[in-house]
Amino acid sequence: MDKYKFRELLKRYQEGTANETERALVEAWYESYPQQNRFNLSDNIKNNLLSRIGSVIQPPVIEPKKLWLPYLRVAASVLLVSAIGLISYLRLSKKQEFVYTTLQTHAGQIKRLVLADSSVLWVNASTIVRYPQRFDKKRREIYLDNGEAFFEVVHHAKQPFVVHAQKVNVQVLGTSFNISAYKNLPAIKVVVATGKVGVTQGSKTLALLTPGQELSFDRKAGTSDTHVVDINDIQSWKSGYVDLKQATFAELATVVKNQLGIQLEAGNDKVSGYRFTIRIKQNLPVDQTLLMINQIHSTHYRKEDNQIIIY
């Protein structure tokens, strides 16, 4: 190494731009000689020292790239892994936060459930409902997968209450209403006791119901209609009886199964087409209930295995 390079090295050292190896060599060179002779060295000695320094000196511009590039790559990898881990954790936390509990009732069984927001849910027999242990801050959502339930919803202006009842959605802010959505029946019915209830199918609004109004949604046709009903009949099943008015045989069979735990079957097409107006009581003996049913259209019944055939 010539004197010019030596001066450049010392200059970089003074400016603080020398790399770690260069700094170590300059300092070792400087400390190797008595203080009074450090700047009075002969040219031969200087040349020898400079040769030693020059053998390990790297170009000043390239060295920082070699030192920092691997660290930058490692840092980027660590940040990427950390970001992925954080996203996964947040997603997992969100899923765990809104895990839904399934409640299923059997024939003749009615349950009362208090939700996280203090709303009350009455669940009829043969019903499956899913609800979270805690609600989202923006929406309160539950699922009525099958059956019937009566809702007493606590009012929250900024947190709508939504019931997903298979093919329709019911949204309220605070009110009481009944939904009948048994999968074996051709229609889903929504009846309002108090307040207002919005019923939608996808992005389509079907109706805005007020007390005493019922919406009936035909599953097969995808159509709906509204009519007025007696408010007193909306939640009678909670008290152990159901008043049927011009009900189809399928509706009658569903109520009898829910209240009494027995399966009715129509013995012929004529019976399938009959309409029934009758009160079905849970505490009434089965034989008396069957007698009342047969008196309406002068029909008969017989028992076959676990079924009652009306003919």
Give the residue-averaged pLDDT of 267-278: 97
Residue 23: pLDDT band (50, 70, 90) is confident
Residue 186: pLDDT band (50, 70, 90) is very high
pLDDT in the model for residue 69: 59
pLDDT in the model for residue 85: 63
Q: Are 296 and 276 in contact (CB under 8 A)?
A: yes
Which DSSP letter does residue 282 get?
T
Q: Which CATH number fits domain 100-238: 2.60.120.1140, 2.60.40.290, 2.60.120.1440, 3.40.50.300?
A: 2.60.120.1440
**Hey, is 205 helix, strand or coil?**
strand
Rounded CA-CA distance 65/280 in Å is: 87
Q: Which CATH number fits domain 240-311: 3.55.50.30, 3.90.1300.10, 3.30.420.40, 3.30.70.870?
A: 3.55.50.30
pLDDT in the model for residue 43: 58
**Burial per residue of 234-268, b for 16 or more beta-carbon CB atoms within 10 angstroms, e otherwise:** bbebeeeebebeebbbbbbbbbbbbbbbbebebbe
pLDDT in the model for residue 36: 47
Give the residue-averaged pLDDT of 114-124: 97
Residues 194-238: pLDDT tens digits?
999 999 999 999 999 999 999 999 999 999 999 999 988 888 999
Residues 134-170: pLDDT tens digits?
999 999 999 999 999 999 999 999 999 999 999 999 9
Beta bridge partners of 141: 162
Give the residue-averaged pLDDT of 34-52: 53
CA distances from 250 to 184, 185, 292 (A): 8, 7, 17
Averaged pLDDT score across all residues of the chain: 84
Domain boundaries, the chain: 3-60, 100-238, 240-311
Residues 243-271: pLDDT tens digits?
999 999 999 999 999 889 899 999 999 99
- More confident of the two residues 54 and 282: 282
Give the position of tokens 């008595």: 34
**Hey, is 125 helix, strand or coil?**
coil
Closest-CA residue to 209 (of 236, 233, 230, 227): 227
Closest-CA residue to 51 (of 4, 6, 21): 6
Q: Are 29 and 45 in contact (CB under 8 A)?
A: no
**Hey, is 175 helix, strand or coil?**
coil
Q: Are 199 and 256 in contact (CB under 8 A)?
A: no
Q: What's the number of CA atoms in the CB half-sphere (13 Å) around residue 201?
A: 14
pLDDT in the model for residue 199: 98
Residues 52-103: pLDDT tens digits?
555 545 555 555 555 555 655 666 665 665 666 666 655 655 555 568 999 9
Angle subtended at Cα 48 by Cα 46 and Cα 51, rounded to the nearest 5 degrees? 105
**Number of alpha helices (DSSP H) and beta strands (DSSP E) in the chain:** 7, 18
